[in-house]
Amino acid sequence: MAVTLQQLTKHDDLLAGGHRACAGCTGANILRQVLLTAGRDTVLGCATGCMEVITTIYPYTAWRIPFIHSAFENSAATVSGAETAFRALKKRGELPVARERINFIAMGGDGGTYDIGLQSLSGAMERGHNMVYICYDNEAYMNTGIQRSSATPFGAHTSTAPAGKVRQGKEQHRKDLTRIMVAHNIPYAAQTTPFHWRDLAAKVQKALDTPGPAFINVLMPCTVGWHFEMALGMEMARIAVETNFWPLFEVENGQYKLNHKPKQRTPIVEWLKAQGRFKHLFKPGNEAIIEELQRRVDADWEKLLREAGEPAATPA
């Protein structure tokens, strides 16, 4: 489904300005893009984290739709409760405003989704609630001070797995959450970024229109945690896709579809070198870490091509 900028500009901007996002934050862009697509008849619940903190410092709120925050690890369970209440109240004709349909969106950062909220998310997806879970993945616990999460890339410097004299940042690869969600056999799962706003809007619309649970993983470049120039957030999202670190794909009823195929392979170094969190990888002696990252990106890309029925990148 094609989404045009012209269409989106006609929609109400449902996230008020004046929120407390950092200069250069791409998370607020994600929220705006999601809300432009979802519209007013939407209930959104967000886990504790950057997006909750920047939008709701009492007595102010940036949300022009109903919003609920409960805790860090439970946005999926919380929204599943609201969605169930919608069905229960509708059945008895007791809705506060008559609606055939309301969009239910749960959100969380990677900490609230990959880590502490994974159980709550898994349960809500398995139960089949008619809701969309959107993870804004900035690859670490940014709100609490850039601690390592299971979404943090291999080799990245964080405050709990820092690069030092004898250790060189995170020593594990990140968890592949999107595929974990695909393994729940939900009708729709996808990956996108705010740079690819047309792709993001189309995926949000598709997820909302899909009956049952849907999951969208959105890469959210973070100027503070990744240490790049604050004007470069969207560029970081673009390069992440062009290097195949964060491919744009969707899985509908188990069918993988690649939404963007880079014209040529951009080495992962192009993404790493703009970010301070990978600075130490360019010191002599750390070449193997970059090689390992590249090896993993290539292997994951080959796997995705196979799953999406695309020709292999490097013929066997």
Partner 1 sequence: MAKQEQVSLTGNEAVAYAFKQARPHVASAFPITPQTEMMHKFADFVANGEVDTEMILVESEHSAMSAAVGAAAAGARVITATSSAGFALMWEIVYVAASLRLPICMALVNRALSGNINIHCDHSDAMGGRDAGWIHLFCESAQEAYDNALMAFRIGEHPDVRLPVMINYDGFIISHTADSLRMLSADDAWKFVGPYKAAYSVLDTENPITVGPLDLTDYYFEHKVGEIEAHKRAFDVVRAVSAQYGALSGRGYDFFESYRLDDAEIAIVLMGSTAGTAKDVVDAHREKGVKAGLLKLRLFRPFPAAELAKALAGKKAVGVMDRAASFGAWGGPLFTEVRSALYGADRQPPVLNWIYGLGGRDCDLRQIDSVLERLADAARGKSGETVNLLGVRL
Residues interacting with partner 1, by CB under 8 A?
Answer: 40-43, 45, 52-53, 56-59, 61, 63-71, 73-74, 77-89, 91-92, 94-97, 99, 102, 119-120, 122-124, 126-127
Q: How far is the CB of 93 from partner 1 (least distance, A)?
A: 12
> What is the separation of C-alpha 59 from the centre of its chain, rounded to a whole number of angstroms?
28
Is 261 in contact with 241 (CB distance < 8 Å)?
no
- Where residue 75 falls (left for φ over 0; alpha for ψ -120 to 50; beta otherwise) is alpha
**Tokens representing residue 156 in the block:** 């990245």
Nearer to partner 1, 86 or 197 (CB): 86
Is 47 in contact with 74 (CB distance < 8 Å)?
yes
Q: What is the SS3 assignment for 128?
A: coil
Nearer to partner 1, 197 or 215 (CB): 215
Cβ burial 190-207 (10 Å sphere, 16+ → b, else e): bbbbbbbbebbbbbbebb
- Long-range contact set of residues 279-284: C-beta below 8 Å, sequence gap at least 24: 279/157, 279/163, 279/227, 280/157, 280/163, 280/168, 280/169, 281/155, 281/168, 281/169
**What distance in Å separates the CA atoms of residue 228 and residue 49, rounded to the nearest whole number?**
21
Q: How far is the CB of 34 from partner 1 (least distance, A)?
A: 15
Q: How far is the CB of 277 from partner 1 (least distance, A)?
A: 26
Q: How far is the CB of 124 from partner 1 (least distance, A)?
A: 8
For residue 129, CA distances in Å to 16, 43, 86, 164 come to 29, 14, 11, 45
Nearer to partner 1, 120 or 138 (CB): 120
Nearer to partner 1, 127 or 296 (CB): 127
Nearer to partner 1, 184 or 198 (CB): 184
Q: How far is the CB of 143 from partner 1 (least distance, A)?
A: 11
Question: Which residue carries 């007013």 as its tokens?
Answer: 40
Nearer to partner 1, 43 or 135 (CB): 43
Q: How far is the CB of 41 from partner 1 (least distance, A)?
A: 5
Nearer to partner 1, 43 or 272 (CB): 43
The helix-helix angle for 197-209 and 27-38 (nearest 10°) equals 50
Is 256 in contact with 306 (CB distance < 8 Å)?
no
Q: How far is the CB of 147 from partner 1 (least distance, A)?
A: 19
Nearer to partner 1, 143 or 192 (CB): 143
Nearest to 216 by CA among 240, 194, 234: 194
**What distance in Å separates the CA atoms of residue 193 and residue 250, rounded to the nearest whole number?**
13
Q: How far is the CB of 61 from partner 1 (least distance, A)?
A: 4
